[in-house]
Structure 1
C-alpha cells in the first residue's frame, strides 16, 4: 500500500514540475523563432508570471506535505526542491538564470590577514608574503606522516599545543550558500604534504565539503565530505598531480543546488561527485596544510 502511495505522490509531483517547465518552454521557443527585428514593446508576461509564481508556491506546499508524511524518498524530494529553486530563480530574474553573486574575496594585498576580511589561525603558522614569485597567504609545515583523511574539521578552536608540528589550519567566518563556487589561486613550493580547501558548517567546523590536493599521490585531486563520522572521498582524479613548477595554479571547486560538485585545475575538470547529505548554508572557509609550503594568492567565493 505504501509503495502504491509513493508512486502516486511521485506522479503528482512530477506532473507539477512538468507543468512548471511548460510555462518557460513557450517563451524560449518564441524567442528562437522571432525575426531579428527591433521590437517597440516587449510582451507583457504579467498573467503567466503570476500563474508560475502560484504553481511554484503550490509545488512547495506539496513537497513539504510529502516530507512530513514520508510519502516519497528524501533523495527524490531533494531533487524536486533543486528543480523548484531553479525555476523560482528564473522567474524572479525575468526568465533568465539568476546571476552568480560574489560573496567573498581576498588577495591579501593589504599585507594583513587578521582584518578586512578576518582570518583566524587555529594551528601552525600563517603569514603574508608580498614579494617574489611566491606571494600571498603562506603556510609552511615540516613534512609529517599525517593522513589527510584524519585531519577533519573541529579546527576552529586553537590547536597550537598539539598540532603545531603536524599541520597548519586557518579559517574565516562567512555565510556561504549550499550551492557555491570556491576559487583559489596558489603556488606550491614543496612536494610534500597535502592541502585541503573547503566550506564548513557549525561552530566547530566539523562538517564540511572540501577539495584536496595531495602532491605525488593518487588521487592527486579529490572531493571529500567531512562529518563527525570521518572523511569520505566522494570523487577524485586517480592519478598523480604535481603543481610544484614555480607557477601559480587555479583550483575551482563548484557545487550546485542538486549537490553536484566538480573541481577544475587550471580550467580543466579533474574530479566530480554528487552528495546532498550536508544541507543548509555553510558558515565559513577552512584551509588545512598538512606538510607543504603553500602560497594562496587569492580566494574568491561566489553563489551558484
Structure 2
C-alpha cells in the first residue's frame, strides 16, 4: 500500500497548526488540504467550511444570513453585502478568509454595528419600529426600546423583502414605509387551524420552498417560505398563514397553461436554468411571478432580446431548452439507455479485483457487508496534538508525512463515466460529531475534482452537492438526511444532458438542481473518508455513452 504524502502551502499549514493549537477541527479551517500519493499521482481536496463559519458569525451579529449550512444562497450573500457596507469594505458579497477574520474581530469587540457619525435613533423611534415590524409579522424578540440584534435582523429582513438597501438601522423613512404597508395590508385572522397551515406547508413544499416537514404548526421556516412566496407574487409580505393564501396556492397550481403553450414543467425548467446562470428566478415551481419575470427580463436584456418577461422561443433556446412553440406537453425525447460502467457489491470479499479498487491513502477492507474504512475525526485526536503539529511543520518544510499521520482515507475506481450519469450508492456510517464522507465522479489527478456528494454530520443540512475545479469549491445544493442508526441508505444520483441533477433517497427527491459547470467525461469514482466509520455496501456506475 502506498503511503500518503501531504503537500501543503505555507498558508494552509499555518491554518492547520493554528487549528490544532486552538483545539479545533483541522478540516473546519483548512480551505484546501491535499493528500498526494506518489505511486498513483492522485490528490484529494477537502471542501471549505468558511461560508458556514461566516453564516454563524453574521447571525450572531444580527445580519440574518440564514441557516448555518455552508451554502451560498441569496440571504447569505445579502447579509455579507450588508456587513461590508456597514464596515466600509468592498461590497462584493463574496465569502473568504479575510472577511471571516474581520467578522470574528467585530464579534470579539462586542459591537455588532460600526460607530456611526449620524444621530442615534431615539428609544421612541426604536419602539415604534419594533411595533411596526411585529404587526407585519417579523420577529423582533421580546418587547423593548433597545436596538437589539433581533431588531436589526428583522429590519434587514423587511428591507430585503421590499427591495430596500439592507442597513439594519431604524429611521423615519423606514418607519413611514412600514406604516404605509400596514395600512394596505389586510388584518390577519386571529387564528388559523392546523389543517389550513398543513395545506399551505404542503403546497409550498411542492414548489421547492425550504419546509422540512408538514406539521400543521407555524415555525420559522414556514413563515420565511410564506414571505418568499408573497414577495415572488408581488403581494404584501406578511409571512402569515390564511385560508385565502391556501386558496391562492391551490388556484395557482391548477392554473391552465399560458397562451404560449408552455407546461408547468417547462416553466420550472426555465426557472432552474435561469438560477443556474446567476439570474435569481426563485423556486422552480413553474409559476412566473414578478421575481421570475424580472430574471427573464434581465437575461433577455443581457442577450440582446426585447425584455418582455415572457419565455419566448428564442429565450428558451438560449437557455438550452429548445423550441417549445404551442405544444401542450414537451415532445418525447429519445434517450440512450443507461449502460453499466462498473458495479461492485463486495460479495466476493475482495476489493482488489472484479473490479479492482485502488487505495490512495488510509486503510480499506471488506467487512460488515461492504468496503469499510475508519478515520478518527481530527477534533478527537487530542492525545496526538503535539505529533500533528510536528507533522504539519514537516509537511510544510520538507514535504513528507509522519507514519500514521493520514487525515483521510481515499479509495478510487478508475473507469470512464460520461457527463450523463446515474450513480447508485448504498452507504452506512457513523453519526458522531465531525463524521465526514465524500463520494462521486472525479476528473484528472484529483480524487474529488468534479461533482461530489459531501456528507458532514456537523452541519444542519449535512448532505451537500458540490463542484470542485480549478476555480475552487462551490456548493450547488444541500439537503437534510440523517445517516444514523447504522442501517444502509441507498442514494441515487442522476445527471441528464441539460445538466439537471437529482439525488433521491427512498424515492424522495432530496436535491433537484441544474448545473452545467462540468460537461466532460469523468475518469472514475472515488470514496473519501475524512472522519468516522463508513461502509460502501454497493455502488453502480452508469452513463449514457
TM bracket, shorter-chain basis: 0.5 to 0.7
In structure 2, how many angstroms separate the alpha carbons of the residues matched to 1:162 and 1:286? 23
Contact kept? 1:185, 1:298, Cα under 8 Å? yes
Which residue is equivalent to 1:166?
407
Structure index of larger Rg: 2
| Cα distance, 1:203 vs structure 2 | 3.4
Deviations 1:241-272 (A, max 9, x none): 32221211111111111111121123211122
In structure 1, how many angstroms separate the alpha carbons of the residues matched to 2:411 and 2:419? 21
Which residue is equivalent to 1:273?
513
| Cα distance, 1:231 vs structure 2 | 1.4
| Cα distance, 1:76 vs structure 2 | 6.0
Which residue is equivalent to 2:441?
199
Contact kept? 2:375, 2:409, Cα under 8 Å? yes
Which residue is equivalent to 2:421?
180
More helix as a share of residues: 2
Decide which of 352, 355, 370 is 1:117's aligned counterpart. Answer: 355
TM superposition score normalised by structure 2: 0.35
Which residue is equivalent to 2:213?
none
In structure 2, how many angstroms separate the alpha carbons of the residues matched to 1:160 and 1:113? 26
More strand as a share of residues: 1
Deviations 1:14-56 (A, max 9, x none): xxxxxxxxxxxxxxxxxxxxxxxxxxxxxxxxxxxxxxxxxxx
TM superposition score normalised by structure 1: 0.60
Secondary structure of the corresponding residue to residue 183 of structure 1:
strand
| Cα distance, 1:96 vs structure 2 | 4.5
Secondary structure of the corresponding residue to residue 290 of structure 1:
strand
| Cα distance, 1:110 vs structure 2 | 1.4
Secondary structure of the corresponding residue to residue 483 of structure 2:
coil
Contact kept? 1:260, 1:272, Cα under 8 Å? yes
1:117-136 aligned at under 5 Å gives the runs: 117-129=355-367, 134-136=368-370
Q: What value does the CA root-mean-square deviation take over the aligned residues?
A: 3.2
Contact kept? 2:363, 2:409, Cα under 8 Å? yes
In structure 1, how many angstroms separate the alpha carbons of the residues matched to 2:447 and 2:492? 21
Does the C-alpha gap of structure 1 residues 97 and 244 become closer, same or farther in structure 2, counting only changes over 3 Å? same
- Is 2:466 the counterpart of 1:228? no
Which residue is equivalent to 1:139?
373
| Cα distance, 1:216 vs structure 2 | 4.3
Unpaired runs of 5+ residues, structure 1, are: 1-70, 84-89, 147-158
Contact kept? 2:428, 2:487, Cα under 8 Å? yes
| Cα distance, 1:160 vs structure 2 | 7.1
In structure 1, how many angstroms separate the alpha carbons of the residues matched to 2:348 and 2:370? 10
Contact kept? 1:187, 1:296, Cα under 8 Å? yes
Does the C-alpha gap of structure 1 residues 267 and 143 become closer, same or farther in structure 2, counting only changes over 3 Å? same
Deviations 1:132-186 (A, max 9, x none): xx3200010001149xxxxxxxxxxxx9768844211111110001010111111
Secondary structure of the corresponding residue to residue 292 of structure 1:
strand
In structure 1, how many angstroms separate the alpha carbons of the residues matched to 2:502 and 2:404? 30
Contact kept? 1:123, 1:164, Cα under 8 Å? no
Does the C-alpha gap of structure 1 residues 209 and 145 become closer, same or farther in structure 2, counting only changes over 3 Å? farther
Contact kept? 1:206, 1:226, Cα under 8 Å? yes
Contact kept? 1:124, 1:160, Cα under 8 Å? no
In structure 1, how many angstroms separate the alpha carbons of the residues matched to 2:350 and 2:471? 35
Structure with higher RCO (Cα < 8 A, 6+ apart): 1
| Cα distance, 1:283 vs structure 2 | 0.7
Unpaired runs of 5+ residues, structure 2, are: 1-303, 306-313, 325-330, 381-399
